[in-house]
Amino acid sequence: MTEELAVPADDPHLWLEDVTGEDALAWVRAQNERTLGALSGSEEFEALRARVLAALDSDERIPYVRRRGEFLYNYWQDAAHPRGLWRRTTLESYRAEQPDWHVLLDLDAVAAAEGENWVWKGSAVLRPEYRLALVQLSRGGADAVVVREFDLETGDFVSGGFTLPEAKSSVGWLDADRILVGTDFGQGTLTSSGYPRVVKEWRRDTPLDTATVVYAGKVDDVSVRAYHDSTDGFERTFVRRSTTFYTAEEFVRSDDGDLVRIDVPDDAETDVHREWLLISLRTPWAVAGTTHPAGALLATPFDDFLAGGRDLTPLFTPDAHTSLTGYVWTRNHLVLSVLRDVQTRMEVLTPGPDGWSRAPLDGVREFETADVVGTDPHQSDEYLISSSGYTVPSELRLGHVGGEVEVLKRAPAFFDAEGMTVAQHFATSDDGTQVPYFVVTPPGGSTGPTLLNAYGGFEVSLRPGYNSTAGLGWLSRGGTYVVANLRGGGEYGPEWHQSALRENRSRAYEDCAAVARDLVGRGITTPERLGVRGGSNGGLLVGVMLTRYPELFGAIVCQVPLLDMKRYHLLLAGASWMAEYGDPDEPGDWEFIKEYSPYQNAEAGRPYPPTLFMTSTRDDRVHPGHARKMVAKLHDLGYDVPYHENIEGGHGAAADNEQSAFMWALTYTFLWDTLTK
């Protein structure tokens, strides 16, 4: 136990925040042993775990790819390669049932040779040659990574190449001999959220401490990063200073190193493609005599805008039922993804001498979600689109804007969906707001238990999609599966999100409670047969369901959660989320935070339903102390709640498919056993 974690009178469980402290880990091991003894080991548990693992490891899964030049790249994990293979193939080979893959990096072999529990965290590849990469590896799945330069032709890490020790770094190429790097350069170079405050230009074969400062933000910023656009004829370097989670200043770097501000609202998002600047608004913007609404997408020539021009073309304008959920460029076109009452629509926009034209992108079906998962914006109008629904496995298609669409891959069905139905309903929240939710009902109707999944934060949209673990662990056993689209999410654009920020946070919780009541009112379930599950911000959500609405639920699973909202901003990346929740050190903010903070509101003698808490020791985003302390307090109050902490896994709570299968088997076993008693 460290001196800083001495036990105060108002928080006797503070010692559990010592992530790898001997006493804290002894407590974790004891809890794990107790929980696993109760939930795992049975024939039914092992059969479920094996089924989920088989689906996660299946060779019939779609190997999703990203085009870089002539090759398609894929990262693949299966039973033989739990850490994974980074590999590539050609489009012609990819069309075959069994593509001919060339393995670039075998992470299992690297981990074994180095005695490290490496987890893949991605790569930045230098274009247009696509030979050199900055590979990012994490110990145990944490957000902090080690960066190493890798040669894709030789298949080796570059001796004497660019390397960075473990940190929450950001890296990108300027050219073959220079990179842009934000990392832990030493004392004072990180923000209070633990992300880089300083970004530098680092030249090959020189010490890191001689790298040239490009920009330095403030300690109370969230982060600073720089990135380079190497599009031929439009080469530009950008710097982004994130002042809060939702506000930033964006700069373009001139040839002499000066930074020129892109003068848009601080809470707007910008995107530059060739000659175009796109501006996505979070709040209304009055400019050049016109007020553009929150959620709008605007376009203008980039150079004209920097020169002071404000001729903005609206490409998307939201309404009460429709929001923009994303967009992506091909070489000459812009593909928009729109949600209409949480159902996907897609269209293609094309700039021309007479303005922007638009046409639908066909093939999206009801209750399915489609996403453009890959384009080649530097060279072609090719796109890869993936679609799936709650009962419809994923399909990957290759198209060219204005041309034919080709089905490349279809995923198998991992559970029998014959006779299952999907419906959308709307619940009425406390203030009259209509809150949508989807219900997947097994054959024969909702006679089994019901599981509600929700998140309600950070403008994250929960859209229909195929989920093999839910299908195997819940639907195929006769359970009803529900997904709620609460305020705080992005399903209806930024205003839907902002309506549940800070002092209005309780609206997300009221929405979740409203959906639970509506499920009962429609006869879909009863409180005793209704479970709720959430992770991260969703873990906070279900923590509030436990302490504020315990009578609505028969079981709860709370994963990698925030729970102690008095101290969340002091733990790991927590300070970066104060724009979402507020600052508990400000008395006015604490007045509304304390009303729902689960750790502070847990009390003895309440009808709390059985609750399973799950987290990861290696989660360096949401501190495992939240879950640990909550469980310890509930034990002190007389509640017998189980707890499981995976040593690896990061914020995803699992570092490989085997760990993921085990986690989901625990989750569904606990819920099923509890709700069917």
pLDDT, tens only, 603-660: 999 999 999 999 999 888 999 999 999 999 999 999 999 999 998 777 776 778 999 9
Rg (CA), the chain: 25
Average pLDDT, the chain: 95
Model confidence over 433-470: pLDDT tens digits? 999 999 999 998 888 999 999 999 999 999 999 999 99
Residue for token digits 């508990």? Answer: 584
Which uninterrupted H or E stretch holds 599?
A: helix 598-601
Q: What's the CA gap between 145 and 168, in Å, rounded?
A: 6
The helix/strand count (H/E) of the chain reads as 14, 39
Model confidence over 42-78: pLDDT tens digits? 999 999 999 999 999 999 999 999 999 999 999 999 9
Q: How far is CA 408 from CA 99, 102, 317, 413, in A?
A: 12, 19, 33, 16
Q: What's the CA gap between 660 and 470, in Å, rounded?
A: 13
Q: With contact defined as beta carbons under 8 Å apart, do 313 and 298 qualify?
A: yes
Q: Which of 659, 464, 631, 635 is nearest to 539 (CA)?
A: 631
Q: Is the pLDDT of residue 4 over 60?
A: no
Render 485-528 in DSSP notation, one character per residue: --BTBSTT-HHHHHTTSGGGTHHHHHHHHHHHHHHHHTTS--GG
Q: In the structure encoding, which two tokens stand for residue 286, read together? A: 């009055």
In whole angstroms, what separates CA 162 from the centre of its chain? 28
Q: Is the pLDDT of residue 571 over 70?
A: yes
Report the SS3 class of residue 376. coil
Q: With contact defined as beta carbons under 8 Å apart, do 334 and 381 qualify?
A: no
Model confidence over 467-500: pLDDT tens digits? 999 999 999 999 999 999 999 999 999 999 999 9
The average pLDDT across 323-327 equals 96
Residues 6+ apart with CB under 8 A from 598: 540, 543, 544, 546, 547, 563, 564, 565, 630
CA dihedral 110, 113, 114, 116 (to 10 degrees): 70
By DSSP bridging, strand 145-151 and strand 163-167 are antiparallel
For position 104, what pLDDT does the model report? 98
What are phi and psi for residue 138, nearest 5 degrees?
-115, 145
The residue from 333, 497, 569, 651 that is catalytic is 651
pTM here is: 0.93
The residue from 536, 576, 597, 660 that is catalytic is 536
For position 1, what pLDDT does the model report? 34
For position 2, what pLDDT does the model report? 39
Q: With contact defined as beta carbons under 8 Å apart, do 157 and 184 qualify?
A: no
Please report, rounded to a whole number, the percentage of residues in the chain having pLDDT higher than 90.
Answer: 93
For position 652, what pLDDT does the model report? 76
Q: Which of 472, 468, 484, 318 is nearest to 392 (CA)?
A: 468
Report the SS3 class of residue 95. coil
Render 572-589 in DSSP notation, one character per residue: GGGGGGHHHH--TTSHHH
What are phi and psi for residue 316, nearest 5 degrees?
-150, 135
DSSP assignment letter at 566: T
Model confidence over 363-410: pLDDT tens digits? 677 778 999 999 999 999 999 999 999 999 999 999 999 898 999 999
Q: In the structure encoding, which two tokens stand for residue 324, read together? A: 């923009």
Which uninterrupted H or E stretch holds 369?
A: strand 368-375
State the helix-helix crossing angle for 22-39 and 657-675, rounded to 10 degrees. 60
Q: With contact defined as beta carbons under 8 Å apart, do 397 and 405 qualify?
A: yes
**pLDDT tier, 8 (very low <50, low <70, confident <90, very high otherwise):** low
Please report, rounded to a whole number, the percentage of residues in the chain having pLDDT higher than 70.
Answer: 98
Task: Say how many CA atoms lie within 13 Å of 273 toward its Cβ.
Answer: 19
Which uninterrupted H or E stretch holds 358?
A: strand 355-360
Model confidence over 193-216: pLDDT tens digits? 999 999 999 999 999 999 999 999
The pairs formed by 516-522 with CB atoms below 8 angstroms and a separation of 24 or more are 516/452, 516/545, 516/549, 516/552, 516/553, 517/427, 517/552, 518/425, 518/427, 518/428, 518/437, 519/439, 519/450, 519/452, 519/482, 522/425
Q: How far is CA 94 from CA 72, 309, 378, 665, in A?
A: 8, 46, 21, 33
Whether 536 is catalytic is yes
**pLDDT tier, 9 (very low <50, low <70, confident <90, very high otherwise):** low
Q: How far is CA 8 from CA 3, 11, 275, 632, 645, in A?
A: 12, 5, 58, 15, 25
Whether 193 is catalytic is no
For position 11, what pLDDT does the model report? 93
**pLDDT tier, 255 (very low <50, low <70, confident <90, very high otherwise):** confident
For position 73, what pLDDT does the model report? 98
Q: With contact defined as beta carbons under 8 Å apart, do 107 and 121 qualify?
A: no
Q: In the structure encoding, which two tokens stand for residue 140, read together? A: 């145990």
